Amino acid sequence: MMISIGDLTKRYGPVTALDHLSFEIQPGIVGLVGANGAGKSTLIKILLGLLPATSGRAHVLGLDVTTEGPQIRQRVGYMPEHDCLPADVSATDFVLHLARMSGLPMSAARERTADTLRHVGLYEERYRAIGGYSTGMKQRVKLAQALVHDPGMLLLDEPTNGLDPAGRDQMLELLRRIGTDFGIPMLVTSHLLGELEQICDHVVVVDGGRLLRSSATADVTSASRIIAVEVDERADELAAVLRSGGLTVHPAGRQLEIELLGDATYDAVRDAVANLGLGLLRMERRRHRMAEIFRVDPSLAYGEGSPDGVAR
């Protein structure tokens, strides 16, 4: 179990930041979604053992946050939401220093700093002072310092914050690589559900400190009975041919949405495209988008307690 939380409550005076939160998640790429002020950052601080919970229990990598904070902090990498980089040092010097502050001996720290900065996509510029970096580069340095000591788990607070769409996609791809290729599990927070569905195995949704949903992305965005097809030209002719073959076809922008009856449907589309001499640009099975699901199912919006409680 990567993270296990039971009845976790945190109050700041009269304000309740976390309200009897319970969930358990297996290692993987886990999204923690909620609006600003939903309690995401509070939860991360509790998981790091930096903030005592008012009541309840929480375990990270099997370690108790109340008694084993130092051990957790040695094994976890944390990327804060806000700026946290001094302007007057180079990325190399800064990440090297923080690698040592995680207990890595000098030679290992040097080697891993160079490796990690390359993995996050910083090359020659890593010798320049951080003050001159773009937001995208700074986010990469922040990620590098969380990754440099090869943590057993990453806690990433809004890693795509402040990035333009291209930078956002690059960051998400980087996180996906770290999670799947490097095999480092992570908890990623975001206030945008849409971007997390691209990379997460599991999504936890919180609002006002309460759990709205905790479930595997595969359940949420399971494959639908629709395939999307895109051809280079004469889409209407293709639609006509397919309809005459007994298939249900809806034009959707540049694409055609075709109801999937079985594997034969794929063959029918392939043959129809080939017979018309068209170029097939895309044929894929549609997935439900998570955002649609949360939108269409009102019971998920503000249900009392948790809709499906502890998932997995």
CB of 227 to another protein, least distance (A): 31
Site for another protein in 156-195 (CB under 8 A): 174, 177-178, 181-183
What six digits make up the tokens of 219?
């359940």
Per the listing, tokens 């794929």 go with 266
Q: Is 279 exposed, middle or buried (0-12, 13-18, 19+ CB in 10 A)?
A: exposed
Q: Which of 126, 149, 210, 213 binds another protein (CB under 8 A)?
A: 149
Instruction: Sort residue 261 into left (φ over 0), alpha (ψ -120 to 50) or beta.
Output: alpha
Between 76 and 193, CB nearer to another protein:
76
76 binds another protein (CB under 8 A): yes
Q: Which of 24, 54, 56, 114 binds another protein (CB under 8 A)?
A: 114
CB of 281 to another protein, least distance (A): 25
Q: Which of 14, 15, 123, 298 binds another protein (CB under 8 A)?
A: 123
What six digits make up the tokens of 94?
């800064």
CB of 254 to another protein, least distance (A): 30
Between 62 and 70, CB nearer to another protein:
70
Which helix (H) or strand (E) covers residue 222, if one does?
none
CB of 124 to another protein, least distance (A): 7
Sign of the C-alpha dihedral computed for residues 190, 196, 199 and 204 taken in this order: positive
50 binds another protein (CB under 8 A): yes
At what angle are helices 135-147 and 91-101 packed, to 10 degrees?
A: 30
CB of 201 to another protein, least distance (A): 19
Which helix (H) or strand (E) covers residue 78, if one does?
strand 76-79
List phi, psi (to 5°) of 110: -60, -50
129 binds another protein (CB under 8 A): yes
Spell out the residues 6+ positions from residue 277 whose beta carbon is closer than 8 angstroms to its own: none
Q: Which of 13, 88, 296, 299 binds another protein (CB under 8 A)?
A: 88
Residues binding another protein: number (CB under 8 A): 49
Instruction: Sort residue 84 into left (φ over 0), alpha (ψ -120 to 50) or beta.
Output: alpha
CB of 9 to another protein, least distance (A): 19
Residue numbers of the site for another protein (CB under 8 A)? 41, 45, 48, 50-51, 70, 73-74, 76, 78, 80-89, 93, 97-98, 100-105, 108, 111-112, 114-115, 118-119, 121, 123-124, 129, 145, 149-150, 174, 177-178, 181-183
